[in-house]
Amino acid sequence: MTLQASIQPLPPIPGDAGFSRPSLEWLARRAEPVAIALFAVLAGLALFSLFIFVLGKSPVQLFTLLYTGGFGSWFSLQNSLSRAAPLLLTGLCVALPARLGLVIIGGEGAVVLGGVAAAAIALPLTGSVTPPLVWLAMGIAGMVVGGIWIGIVGVLRHYRGVNETIASLLMAYIAIALMNHMIEGMLRDPASLNKPSTTPLPAEYMLGNIPGMDVNWGLAIGATACVLSYILIEATSFGFAARIAGGNVRAAQIQGLPVGRLIVGFTALAGGFAGLAGMVEVAAVQGSANASLAAGYGYTGILVAFLARHNPLAIIPVAILLGGLDAAGGLIQRRMGLPDATVLVLQGTLFVVILFCETLYGRFKIFNPDLWKSPDLSKRSA
């Protein structure tokens, strides 16, 4: 309460720099999330250094290794980008429904079933159809199945009032059981003995790397999906309606907005992206659907989305940052003799601190756009 009182009555700065005011105002608005995020990351790293220091290891060496292992060379950067690729799509699976006020935490299920669907549709097609058509069919199959899976959660939410967080979580466990049932049963390649899998894709049907990089096309697909989602939310009437419904469902209903269609549409699209992540995993990494599909990308996506504050464009740098931390894990383990869970601890510390720093929004006068408004504008609005 004291917080609000301290930020409201701010007199505009007098002076004749009026022409630059709108840009300053814009800058203040945009600088706040960047500054707070940077502060949070630094604070998180400082806390983690303390932890490492207490254990008798050198934090400086740790951060040097983090940098070289995650971003320091072209090789490690490519490694980080590869790991970021699925997180872009699973992050969207959380961020899009979140704009409607829905917390979906079961993207893992859509990833898994999307991957199985992509593998299943590819099997009869390989050999008779050209690779690009197979990839298209796999992508569509993955998106449709993933979209239906999370779309069901949206339908249950809107038409039955079932809590979407819990329903999506239950659906994720059901999806993993379904995958195991299928890859152990009808879709199993008899040649896969220890690790039940579907029949692997022939080498020429594997989704290759982006030209000039050792990173598969998943990164480009994920980045495109993020940009398209940003446009959908910020620049279309559908996205505008979704933002209104996310702000206040009652207001949206009174305005006559199709809230039900928005919820089902956004959850289905979100699931579609997660399903696409499963398809990329099958077509570009694994070559077949197997238990490795449930590698936790869906759960890491939750954190990606929350750290990006559900902004699809911000998902891109956040996913790359997390991919880099992941990539550096092995190096830290080998060079410093720390357990491989070190990266998990670092990630956890960072997440807690960054989400904690949400409380800093609106606390700094310097980021208040009203401070930078030109005097006549502020009079008109008052």
**What is the contact surface with other proteins in residues (CB under 8 A)?**
3, 103, 105, 156, 158-163, 165-167, 169-171, 173-174, 177-178, 180-181, 184, 299, 302-303, 306, 338-349, 351-352, 354-356, 358-359, 361-362
CB 215 within 8 A of CB 85: yes
Q: How far is the CB of 253 from other proteins (least distance, A)?
A: 12
In this complex, which beta carbon is closest to other proteins, that of residue 120 or of residue 280? 120
In this complex, which beta carbon is closest to other proteins, that of residue 235 or of residue 355? 355
In this complex, which beta carbon is closest to other proteins, that of residue 133 or of residue 341? 341
358: burial class by Cβ within 10 Å (0-12, 13-18, 19+)? exposed
In this complex, which beta carbon is closest to other proteins, that of residue 171 or of residue 269? 171
Establish how many alpha carbons lie within 13 A of residue 254's alpha carbon, considering only the half-sphere containing its beta carbon: 4
In this complex, which beta carbon is closest to other proteins, that of residue 143 or of residue 172? 172
Q: How far is the CB of 356 from other proteins (least distance, A)?
A: 5
Burial annotation 122-147 (CB, 10 A radius, 16+ → b, else e): bbebeeeeebeebbebbbbbbbbbbb
In this complex, which beta carbon is closest to other proteins, that of residue 97 or of residue 218? 97
Q: How far, in Å, CA of 290 to CA of 279, rounded?
A: 12
In this complex, which beta carbon is closest to other proteins, that of residue 124 or of residue 362? 362
Q: How far is the CB of 55 from other proteins (least distance, A)?
A: 9
In this complex, which beta carbon is closest to other proteins, that of residue 33 or of residue 375? 33
Q: How far is the CB of 371 from other proteins (least distance, A)?
A: 20
Q: How far is the CB of 365 from other proteins (least distance, A)?
A: 17
Q: How far, in Å, CA of 283 to CA of 123, rounded?
A: 12
CB 150 within 8 A of CB 271: yes
Residues in the chain: 382
Choose among 4, 8, 17: nearest CA to 375.
Answer: 17
Q: How far is the CB of 178 from other proteins (least distance, A)?
A: 7
Q: How far is the CB of 340 from other proteins (least distance, A)?
A: 8
Q: How far is the CB of 302 from other proteins (least distance, A)?
A: 5
- The DSSP string of 25-74 is HHHHHHHHHHHHHHHHHHHHHHHHHHHHHHTT--HHHHHHHHHIIIIISH
Give bridge partners of residue 126 from the DSSP assignment. 129
